[in-house]
């Protein structure tokens, strides 16, 4: 994650994601996922760098466009040691997806 900003600069200024990922020996999708993490709130990025959350937790938080909600859930993840599945369930609740699915099924 520490070099993600540098990678982003290379992609923007010099190389395509395909070219850069090829040079790095990683899949283009892996590079794209790492670059997407730069859109997260700085507190989330910092927690990821400090290994307080996993990259998978961080990718789940990308579903929340509201940075305040990202930080709120980040604190919950750290405090309650939530699994990625639990994080995804919480995000669904925040976004109202669970309630909408439940209503559609008639439960």
- Residue 90 contacts residue 76 (beta carbons within 8 Å): yes
Which letter does DSSP use for residue 49 in this model?
Answer: H
Predicted confidence at residue 2, as pLDDT, reads: 41
Handedness of CA 92, 93, 96, 98 (dihedral sign): positive
**Residue 40, pLDDT score:** 96
Extract the tokens encoding 17.
């994601």
Given this model, what pLDDT does residue 7 score?
67
pLDDT of residue 30: 87
Encode pLDDT of 81-95 as tens digits: 999 999 999 999 999
Instruction: Report residue 67 as tokens.
Output: 């940075």
Cut 0.85: pTM above it: no
Residue 63 has what DSSP assignment? Answer: T
Residue count of the chain, please give it.
107
Q: How far apart are CA 44 and CA 4, in angstroms?
A: 14
- Check residue 45 and give its pLDDT: 95
Give the count of beta carbons closer than 10 Å to the beta carbon of residue 86: 15
Which residue positions in the chain have pLDDT lower than 70?
1-5, 7, 9-13, 98-107
Q: What pLDDT does residue 33 have? A: 87
């Amino acid at each position: 994650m520490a070099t993600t900003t540098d990678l982003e600069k290379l992609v923007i200024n010099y190389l395509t994601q395909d070219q850069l990922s090829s040079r790095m020996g990683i899949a283009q999708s892996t590079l794209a996922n790492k670059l997407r993490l730069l859109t997260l709130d700085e507190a989330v990025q910092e927690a990821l760098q400090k290994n307080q959350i996993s990259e998978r937790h961080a990718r789940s938080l990308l579903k929340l466009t509201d940075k305040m909600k990202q930080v709120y859930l980040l604190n919950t993840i750290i405090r309650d040691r939530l699994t990625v599945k639990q994080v995804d369930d919480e995000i669904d609740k925040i976004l109202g997806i669970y309630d909408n699915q439940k209503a559609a099924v008639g439960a």
